[in-house]
Amino acid sequence: MSEPIKMIDGFPFEPYSHDTYTEEEMLFRSKVFYDWMNKRRTVREFANKAIPKEVIENIILTASTAPSGAHKQPWTFCVVQDPEIKAKIRVAAEKEEFESYSNRMSKEWLEDLKPFQTDWKKPFLETAPYLIIVFKKAFDLFPDGGKKTNYYVNESVGLACGFLLAAIHHAGLVALTHTPSPMNFLMRILQRPENERPFLLIPVGYAHPETYVPKLQRKSMASVAEFY
Ligand code: IYR
């Protein structure tokens, strides 16, 4: 049966329905979801184990359900599985990261990163079975060469990345939100069009079986929220 469409000012609208819950169910569901999301951690060591491509596709479809300015969905998710391209990305990223850790980052910044024990070496760019490189589209490009500006691009792509990380966690996989800086080399290696800029590089895979993550404390309710 087709959806009853209502035209408003010449534009089609469809009925919206969604699941609702009793207060008791909401309390339970919100707590279970929080406990489960609270288990997500950034992981830097990956098992060299394959993942079906369809899982990655579902994760990307989930990310692409994020809200965006005027529903322009100003993002491209580039999925790299090819070992040769991964190797190229690693070489270029390590070159920039070596420079950043040696000269570009402040003493305070390096001090703040010590608990995470990061450095310029990025082996995960080759061990993770997939690299998802998220590009933001400042404007849309049309085949006739026309351009149209997008809106709230950083907010939109940031939201999509949040959805992406939640979907990765939901699939039982792990990810790293990696920001080699500067990351223009990704445009060159992946030959992206002129309207795209790299936003985040997200290796995805299974966690290495002997993974340790920094012991972190998340901020309390009182320090992250104000109720008026
Ligand atoms: N981009 C560098 C440095 C780095 C910066 C921050 I802020 C982090 O939270 C982690 C790393 C790197 O990826 O190593």
Computed over every residue of the chain, the mean pLDDT equals: 97
pLDDT at 131: 98
Mean pLDDT, residues 132-138 taken together: 98
* Model confidence band, residue 118 (pLDDT cutoffs 50, 70, 90): very high
pLDDT at 220: 98
pLDDT at 108 > cutoff 60: yes
Ligand 1 midpoint to CA 178 (Å) = 7
pLDDT at 1 > cutoff 60: no
- Among 43, 113, 124, name the best residue to mutate to test ligand 1's pocket (greatest count of ligand atoms within 8 A of Cβ): 113
Span 43-207: which CATH code? 3.40.109.10
Mean pLDDT, residues 58-65 taken together: 98
pLDDT at 134 > cutoff 90: yes
pLDDT at 48 > cutoff 90: no
**Per-residue H/E/C for the chain:** CCCCCEEECCEEECCCCCCCCCHHHHHHHHHHHHHHHCCCCECCCECCCCCCHHHHHHHHHHHCCCCCHHHCCCEEEEEECCHHHHHHHHHHHHHHHHHHHHHHCCHHHHHHHHHHCCCCCCCHHHHCCEEEEEEEECEEECCCCCEEECCCHHHHHHHHHHHHHHHHHHCCCEECCECCCCCCHHHHHCCCCCCEEEEEEEEEECECCCCCCCCCCCCCHHHHCCCC
- pLDDT 10s digits, 185-212: 999 999 999 999 999 999 999 999 999 9
pLDDT at 133 > cutoff 70: yes
Token pair, residue 175, equals 């990810």
Ligand 1 midpoint to CA 33 (Å) = 28
Q: Where are the domains of the chain?
A: 43-207
- pLDDT 10s digits, 152-163: 999 999 999 999
pLDDT at 2: 64
Q: Given the CA of residue 180, which atom of ligand 1 is nearest to it?
A: 1
Ligand 1 midpoint to CA 107 (Å) = 13
Mean pLDDT, residues 121-131 taken together: 97
- pLDDT 10s digits, 13-33: 999 999 999 999 999 999 999
Q: Given the CA of residue 118, which atom of ligand 1 is nearest to it?
A: 14
Q: What percent of the chain has pLDDT over 70?
A: 99
